[in-house]
Amino acid sequence: MSFSPPVIIKLPIWRRRTLLIVVLLGFCVLLGRGIYLQGIHKEFLQKKGEARYSRELKLPANRGIITDRNGELLAISTPVESIWASPPDVVASPNQLNALAKLLQIEPAVVVKKLTKKNHEFVYVKRRIPPELAAQVMHLGIPGVFMQREYRRYYPAGEMAAHVVGFTGVDDKGQEGIELVFQNWLAGKAGERHVIKDRQGHIVEDLVAVNVPQDGKDVTLSMDRNIQYLAYRELALAVTQFKAKAGAAVMLDAKTGEVLAMVNLPTYNPNNPVNINVNGRSRNRTIVDTFEPGSTLKPITAAAALESGNFKPDTLIQTAPGYLRVGTATIHDTHPQGLITVAQVIQKSSNVGASKMALTLDRQFFWGVFNQLGLGTPTHIGFPGEASGRLRPYKIWRPIEQATMSFGHGISLTLLQLARAYTVFANDGELRPLSLLKLNEIPLGHQVFSAETAHQVKDMLEMVVLPGGTALKAQIMGYRVAGKTGTAHKLDVGGYQKNRYVSSFVGMAPASNPRLILAVMIDEPSSGEYYGGTVAAPVFSKVMEGALRMLAIPQDAPNDNVVIPAQGAPEGEPEEAPEVKDAPAGKSVKEVQEST
């Protein structure tokens, strides 16, 4: 037997050193990577690890309720459940997925798509479902599928208060109305709970103590739900009867400026706010829509004339022959009245009489009256989207513009502004701020007219609803009423529209000591009737009568005070608009209308 010695291979020294360096470098890289991951970048790894078992559960705050002035509910939150999933943790059989889709009434393909988003750690499957349905979903026992408590807003008053209360979106954030204005006040502050869950979704341990949610605060509106319903019902009947495009009404507490009712048609259901932008359903017309008020502005012209010292209620004004030339334009009365007093100008709704009073006034003084009443400026009631209207600077007024503004043309305002302006006749000439919230004390206002002027104009307004006036249908049994009708052609592209009207009535009761003010506007009545005394005044009468009796306001007249006109007899001198009829000096009616 022979023995072979082992073969020893010696590497060149440079190769040994190179191998050693490579090994050392590799070790250094691994060491550096370990230090980086365990020291510098450890938060990333910790978050990734915690994501497998750790969850932050949001504890939603209960949104504050909204009530009317008497504590009646207008908006309240009810508990619901939302189903969500962590796609990386979902383990479900086809049968379970089909059962889940069937319970939630979702297409199976949609459910599969949501639960297979592996790059998402949180996805909603379906939100705001009844708690009993959520319990059935959880009974399926699908790992990675969870339920979460949320709240859904419910509006007991429904359509009739939609434009005031508004509604919330799917995330319980205010989208319109009071819900939007008082979002931060109502919403509160959500809490949270940091827990460890197993793959079945069961809570194993609380890591952090519960951060208790802070519920939202309640809001008490100035609105009276019963009066709101009454106004909604009567306005809806009138819009239907006269085949109108839209309607609006607003009632104020004459002493405090609180809004007791604010109604708009068409409306929408805030419990299911779909297609709310169709036909302007979401618009609060009393606040965001402007219109030319027509003859409802004549009492303000009369008040300005009385304040100037040049007129008294019994001052005679010659309105014959029934028209007035102002430059190249001519202003007409529907029926010539002849020699009448200032009070009769309001009672008969004479455009010529109002124009003659206005043309004697200093432009800056006349503009100042409108401005002090808040015309051309927002009421600052705090509602989103409030319009300011349009009151042009007095420096650019021409005589025809000064004349037409005296009977409500060439100026635009909102129904809320108009109702507020009439508060001066109920409060000894003082204009008070408005409020959508219930007040505990009467706010301070500012004096616009003297108490004597306010009383004198109020007496004139009372004549409007008596025989010889334009609004017999505004009378109320057992109560004295004061108010004014308005009928105006609508202004559109190309001038005033021939057969499109805005009919309105603004009034107060009881006239002896006004407690309530109501303004009614009917947009584009198309049944053949369009005068304010025929279309809007009856709505005023029914709503005001109901509100006076609901609030137990004492009567100030006998029960036989209502005067019914004879069959076929005129109820008063109708108003016609546009009041600028022709232009004999070669200027077209359209040019005159556009100038106003």
The catalytic residue among 222, 282, 295, 355 is 295
CA distances from 443 to 222, 325, 344, 367, 430 (A): 14, 45, 34, 25, 11
Let me know: does 411 contact 405? Beta carbons within 8 Å. Answer: yes
Beta bridge partners of 341: 316
Nearest to 373 by CA among 441, 301, 320: 301
Tally the C-alpha atoms within 13 A of residue 54's C-alpha that lie toward its C-beta: 9
Residues 465, 468, 473, 478: what is their CA dihedral angle, to the nearest 10 degrees?
A: 50
pLDDT digits (tens, 9 = 90+) for 408-431: 999 999 999 999 999 999 999 999
Task: Determine the average pLDDT of the residues in 321-325.
Answer: 91
How would residue 29 be classed by pLDDT, with cut points 50, 70 and 90? Answer: confident
In whole angstroms, give the CA distance from residue 198 to residue 211.
Answer: 22
The residue type found at 102 is K
pLDDT of residue 463 exceeding 80: yes
pLDDT of residue 259 exceeding 60: yes
The residue type found at 411 is I
17 compared with 384, residue with greater pLDDT: 384
In whole angstroms, give the CA distance from residue 15 to residue 22.
Answer: 11
pLDDT of residue 579 exceeding 80: no
Q: Which two tokens stand for residue 457?
A: 């104009």
Let me know: does 304 contact 365? Beta carbons within 8 Å. Answer: yes
Give the three-state DSSP class for 206.
strand
256 compared with 568, residue with greater pLDDT: 256
How much is the pLDDT for 180?
93
pLDDT of residue 123 exceeding 60: yes
How much is the pLDDT for 580?
47
How would residue 202 be classed by pLDDT, with cut points 50, 70 and 90? Answer: low
Report the chain's mean pLDDT, rounded to a whole number: 86
DSSP structural state of residue 568: T
Task: Determine the average pLDDT of the residues in 340-349.
Answer: 95
Nearest to 319 by CA among 347, 346, 356: 356
How much is the pLDDT for 55?
62
Degrees (nearest 5) of the Cα angle 459, 293, 285?
Answer: 120
pLDDT of residue 594 exceeding 90: no
Q: Look up 435 and say whether it is catalytic.
A: no
Least confident stretch, 108-122, 259-273, 294-308: 108-122
Q: Which two tokens stand for residue 120?
A: 């998402």
Burial of residue 127, with CB atoms counted within 10 A of its CB: 0-12 exposed, 13-18 middle, 19 or more buried: middle
Residue 211 φ/ψ region, left for φ over 0, alpha for ψ in the -120 to 50 degree band, beta for the rest: beta
The CATH fold assigned to 225-269+284-595 is: Beta-lactamase (3.40.710)
Tally the C-alpha atoms within 13 A of residue 486's C-alpha that lie toward its C-beta: 31
In whole angstroms, give the CA distance from residue 148 to residue 131.
Answer: 10
Least confident stretch, 70-74, 252-256, 382-386, 393-397: 382-386
The percentage of the chain sitting over the pLDDT mark of 70, rounded to a whole number, equals 86
CA distances from 394 to 307, 363, 416 (A): 18, 6, 23
* Buried/exposed code over 302-323 (b: 16+ C-beta within 10 A; e: otherwise): bbbbbbeeebebeeebebeebb
* Buried/exposed code over 276-299 (b: 16+ C-beta within 10 A; e: otherwise): beeeebbbbbbbbbbbbbbbbbbb
* Buried/exposed code over 470-505 (b: 16+ C-beta within 10 A; e: otherwise): bbbbbbbebbbbbbbbbbbbbbeeebbeeebbbbbb
How much is the pLDDT for 82?
86
Task: Determine the average pLDDT of the residues in 268-294.
Answer: 85
pLDDT of residue 88 exceeding 60: yes
How would residue 589 be classed by pLDDT, with cut points 50, 70 and 90? Answer: very low
The CATH fold assigned to 55-110+120-220 is: Penicillin-binding protein 2a (Domain 2) (3.90.1310)
How would residue 262 be classed by pLDDT, with cut points 50, 70 and 90? Answer: very high
For tokens 């000591």, name the residue: 513
587 compared with 404, residue with greater pLDDT: 404
Q: Strands 203-206 and 191-197: what pairing?
A: antiparallel
In whole angstroms, give the CA distance from residue 232 to residue 359.
Answer: 40
Taking the CA atoms of the chain, what radius of gyration do you get in angstroms?
Answer: 36
pLDDT of residue 595 exceeding 60: no
Degrees (nearest 5) of the Cα angle 203, 204, 209?
Answer: 80
pLDDT of residue 76 exceeding 80: yes
Q: Where are the domains of the chain?
A: 55-110+120-220, 225-269+284-595
Least confident stretch, 95-99, 543-547, 573-577: 573-577
Chain mean position to CA 355:
35
330 compared with 518, residue with greater pLDDT: 518
In whole angstroms, give the CA distance from residue 343 to residue 457.
Answer: 8
491 compared with 57, residue with greater pLDDT: 491
How much is the pLDDT for 574?
45
CA distances from 403 to 59, 368, 485 (A): 63, 16, 19
Let me know: does 592 contact 400? Beta carbons within 8 Å. Answer: yes
Residues 215, 221, 223, 224: what is their CA dihedral angle, to the nearest 10 degrees?
A: 60
Number of H helices, E strands in the chain: 20, 20
pLDDT of residue 348 exceeding 70: yes
